[in-house]
């Protein structure tokens, strides 16, 4: 079996590794000329790390990242509102939650590939479906026949637009800034993810390596992200805890990435004939649960198992059946959290904070457990 993967993001690379380990040949086609490391961090939650353990990557990721033992929501002054203790999941699944530089993770995944070729500067522009295979055209003029295609080409997927032209992208009307800074975080925060909620903005930070802190900040806008300027970041968070203000101050402006937050409207079909979607192309989510890449990593594992076990048609069907409920649960919950976090009304906000404080940790832990538990194949 030969499989062509469009996109060398976390989803495409992990899928190629998982398929290789099943003895399935793959090629990856990536639009960029160079696989540049994104200057941001990522949190690989327990579910993703269980997959990486199965793929023989757990140790190297743990060695190059930083373990996170709790995820906290706090007020702007870093006083706690809610906390999820992750150590019980570490013990249950024998896998830690790891915060790591995206570039480091990308290199680890590339280094793990053995037979897969990554064809850079190959932006897919069109797909023509024939009786038994597909004819792919790339912007560089190359054209190939392909028998099985996996669309791992992200939120704006060309592959998805070919098989499901009517799927649409939802804009959350939130701007997001992300950065990495050399910063000596106080010891008590070094193994935690903290996300501070303010009035219609929030700020998260986590250590990804010694003296390296990854942070993200989000703010709601009315019409478009140009309502805000990166030059005013310190002002937007001027009422936050001094650690947060120091983190912003210590980051070089050129190293800050700005994006608008979007997701994909839920769709119940992820495949058609011999073309199947994985990761963000199938179920892009807002980043509020830190689960987008983790879900792509789960896709990679489940799809490779299904392709190993069944004929292609059935494999795609079983994969969708297994993966869709959890991926959709993440998209829905994440959207809701994103909205709640930016509630403006002070009375509703105070009520929300009260409820968060009163919610027993066991309830939040139960919700996390549903996300961390891998699908059984």
Ligand X SMILES: Cc1cc2nc3c(=O)[nH]c(=O)nc-3n(C[C@H](O)[C@H](O)[C@H](O)COP(=O)(O)OP(=O)(O)OC[C@H]3O[C@@H](n4cnc5c(N)ncnc54)[C@H](O)[C@@H]3O)c2cc1C
With H, G, I as helix, E, B as strand and everything else as coil, classify residue 118: strand
Q: Establish if 292 lies at the interface with ligand X (CB under 6 A).
A: yes
Closest CA to 73 of 335, 251, 347, 337: 337
Q: Which of 27, 287, 298, 335 binds ligand X (CB under 6 A)?
A: 287
Give strand pairing partners of 124. Answer: 138
Site string for ligand X, 110-149 (x = CB under 6 A): ------------xxx-------------------------
**Interface with ligand X, residue 280, by CB under 6 A:** yes
Task: Note whether 332 and 266 are within 8 A (CB).
Answer: yes
- d(CA 107, CA 276) in angstroms, rounded, equals 25
Are 122 and 142 in contact by the 8 Å Cβ rule? The answer is yes
Taking the least distance from each CB to ligand X, the nearer of 46 and 82 is 46
Is 150 one of the binding residues for ligand X (CB under 6 A)?
A: no
According to DSSP, residue 65 is labeled: S
Pick the closer one to ligand X by CB: 54 or 137. 137
Residues between 293 and 312 that touch ligand X (CB under 6 A) = 293-294, 296
Tell whether the torsion through CA atoms of 348, 351, 357 and 362 is positive or negative.
negative
Least distance from C-beta 66 to ligand X, angstroms?
Answer: 13
Q: Shortest CA distance to 41 belongs to which of 105, 107, 90?
A: 105
Residues 28-57 that bind ligand X (CB under 6 A): 29-32, 42-43
Instruction: Please say which residue, 325 or 351, places its beta carbon nearer to ligand X.
Output: 325
Residue pointed to by tokens 């295609």: 149
In terms of CB distance, is 32 or 350 closer to ligand X?
A: 32
Q: How far is the CB of 262 from ligand X (least distance, A)?
A: 9
Query: Using CB under 6 A, which of 3, 5, 8, 148 touches ligand X?
Result: 8
Close Cβ partners of 84 (under 8 Å, ≥ 6 residues apart): 70, 71, 72, 361, 364, 365, 368
Judged by beta carbon, residue 65 or residue 198, the one nearer ligand X is 65
Site string for ligand X, 220-259 (x = CB under 6 A): ---------------------------------------x
How far apart CA 377 and CA 375 sit, in angstroms, is: 6
CB of 339 to ligand X, least distance (A): 16
Query: For residue 74, what are its two tokens?
Result: 């706090």
Q: How far apart are CA 292 and CA 283, in angstroms?
A: 8
- Inter-residue contact 156 to 169 (CB < 8 Å): yes
List 66, 97, 167, 291, residue binding ligand X (CB under 6 A): 291
**Site residues, ligand X (CB under 6 A):** 6-12, 29-32, 42-43, 122-124, 152-154, 158, 176, 178, 216, 259, 279-280, 287, 290-294, 296
């Amino acid at each position: 079996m030969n499989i062509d993967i469009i996109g060398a993001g976390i989803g495409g690379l992990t899928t190629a590794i998982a398929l290789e380990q099943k003895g399935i040949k793959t090629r990856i086609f990536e639009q960029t000329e160079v696989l540049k490391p994104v200057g941001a961090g990522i949190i690989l939650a327990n579910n993703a790390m269980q997959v990486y353990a199965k793929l023989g990557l757990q140790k190297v990721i743990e060695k190059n990242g930083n373990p996170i033992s709790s995820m906290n929501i706090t007020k702007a002054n870093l006083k706690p509102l809610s906390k999820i203790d992750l150590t019980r999941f570490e013990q249950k699944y024998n896998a830690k939650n790891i915060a790591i530089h995206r570039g480091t993770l990308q290199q680890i995944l590339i280094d793990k590939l053995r037979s897969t070729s990554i064809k850079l500067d190959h932006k897919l522009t069109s797909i023509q479906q024939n009786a038994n295979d597909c004819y792919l055209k790339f912007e560089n003029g190359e054209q190939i026949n392909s028998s099985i295609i996996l669309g791992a080409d992200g939120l704006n997927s060309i592959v998805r637009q070919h098989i499901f032209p009517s799927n649409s992208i939802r804009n959350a009307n939130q701007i997001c800034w992300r950065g990495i800074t050399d910063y000596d975080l106080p010891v008590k925060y070094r193994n935690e993810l903290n996300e501070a909620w303010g009035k219609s903005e929030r700020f998260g930070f986590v250590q990804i390596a010694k003296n390296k802190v990854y942070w993200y900040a989000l703010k709601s806008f009315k019409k478009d992200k140009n309502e805000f300027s990166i030059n005013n970041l310190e002002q937007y968070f001027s009422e936050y805890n001094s650690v947060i203000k120091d983190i912003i101050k210590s980051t070089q402006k050129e190293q800050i990435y700005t994006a608008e937050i979007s997701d994909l409207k839920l769709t119940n079909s992820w495949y058609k004939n011999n073309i199947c979607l994985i990761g963000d192309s199938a179920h892009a989510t807002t980043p509020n649960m830190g689960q987008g890449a983790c879900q792509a990593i789960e896709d990679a594992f489940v799809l490779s198992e299904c392709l190993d076990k069944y004929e292609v048609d059935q494999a795609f069907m079983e994969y969708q059946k297994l993966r869709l409920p959890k991926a959709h649960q993440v998209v829905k919950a994440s959207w809701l959290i994103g909205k709640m976090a930016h509630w403006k009304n002070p009375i509703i906000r105070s009520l929300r904070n009260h409820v968060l404080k009163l919610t027993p940790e066991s309830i939040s832990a139960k919700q996390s457990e549903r996300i961390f538990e891998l699908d059984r194949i």
